[in-house]
Chains A and B, each alone.
Chain A
């Protein structure tokens, strides 16, 4: 079969582009096999990073402005309430400072090691992927303190509670697996009763509750109630103990032969409004 000149003219660049695609794919596979990223990916990420950061900033401004406009009526009342709460917390803070100093003095007298300096790194959430049901976010670390690096496995948390863990680090960008990802699981316990179980994402598509967790593998007749606070148990070897995870919203006791208790947990972190996080070194 002979191709005419115009067809050949179109066909050649198409073949060339297909060859480039094959090369890039093989390059990526080879780089991933060694735990690195390929040069084309690195270039694209370097170019895309400022846009993602700017996008996150714009989203924040638009959301805050929109919220201010819609909630203008209640803003004054909120402001008064917050001022009152601030005054109360100032008083509480003075008390806590006193307790802290007292505790420090006791620890020194009892021969405890002094507190280690904080190694947490602040980071901004610049992107979110939820393709094929996966729940991950890309974070940008602006300032990395000296003698500190972000590693795969580091814990990502918010002031409110646990967010997830770092699964990939590329320069100042890191990919975090969220605790609501279908692949994620962690050891947890009920803070009040110390009952232990495993936290997995709830089957939100079926239950219609977004971003809910499910506490499973609880012991027979486990003491768990609605309103109980769930924290990490530290038994999984991934997360340290006592990081807040969420609060129990519902408890389902199966009446089948093998009686099981499953609790639905609402995470403390609002994954729909994730903006800033802390990266904490893995213990």
Chain B
């Protein structure tokens, strides 16, 4: 079980850093995808609220530290999203990639709205464009990333018969 938590931490660091190093020519309106949200969706929907919350904690820490952003809002949005996705786990089926894509895009957008309350932007127009672009990019990148992450978490799962 500890390995699974450590792997989730490592994946959060990896995806958080990758998000910042995302190539500029692969961005939509200069926005990279929110890779941490994709990890949250996979872990939350497949592993439950506890691991969803843990993944939220470590992804917020990774994204906040690497981007020099205040952690408060990130913790609330990421841990909240992880817990809610975990509670929704039995109702939404992450086996279907299009559903995972939609959930990732919606989660990215909602988390940006929550973070807006903690760190209001200078003007709403650019923020809205950035949020929508990031949600679209997150949804698109979710397809290959979910397909990659699911087997990794499956092999590390202590109860391998559990559906991942």
Which one of A55-63, A71-79, A108-116, A185-193 is at the interface? A55-63
Q: What is the predominant secondary structure among interface residues of chain A facing chain B?
A: helix
Which one of A21-29, A144-152, A228-236 is at the interface? A21-29
Cα distance A48–B129 in the bound complex, in angstroms: 28
- Residues of A217-231 contacting chain B, CB below 8 A: none
State the interface size on chain A (CB cutoff 8 A).
Answer: 48
Least CB distance from B129 to A in Å reads 6
Pairwise interchain contact B24-A272, C-beta atoms closer than 8 A: yes
User: Which of B17, B25, B54, B121 meets A55, CB within 8 Å?
Assistant: B17
> A21 and B17 in contact (CB under 8 A), knowing A44-B61, A59-B23?
no
Pairwise interchain contact A131-B13, C-beta atoms closer than 8 A: no
Least CB distance from B121 to A in Å reads 4
Pairwise interchain contact B122-A133, C-beta atoms closer than 8 A: yes
Pairwise interchain contact B13-A24, C-beta atoms closer than 8 A: no
Least CB distance from B160 to A in Å reads 22
Least CB separation from B73: chain A residue: A25
Least CB distance from B69 to A in Å reads 8
State the interface size on chain B (CB cutoff 8 A).
Answer: 44
Cα distance A18–B18 in the bound complex, in angstroms: 26
Least CB distance from A282 to B in Å reads 21
Cα distance A14–B65 in the bound complex, in angstroms: 22
Pairwise interchain contact A45-B50, C-beta atoms closer than 8 A: no
Least CB distance from A166 to B in Å reads 13
Cα distance A29–B76 in the bound complex, in angstroms: 16
- Is B45's CB within 8 Å of the partner chain A? no
Least CB separation from B123: chain A residue: A133
Least CB distance from B109 to A in Å reads 14
User: Which of B65, B66, B72 meets A25, CB within 8 Å?
Assistant: B72
- Is B103's CB within 8 Å of the partner chain A? no
- Is B60's CB within 8 Å of the partner chain A? yes
Which one of A89-97, A98-106, A121-129, A239-247 is at the interface? A121-129
Cα distance A61–B13 in the bound complex, in angstroms: 23
Pairwise interchain contact B50-A13, C-beta atoms closer than 8 A: yes
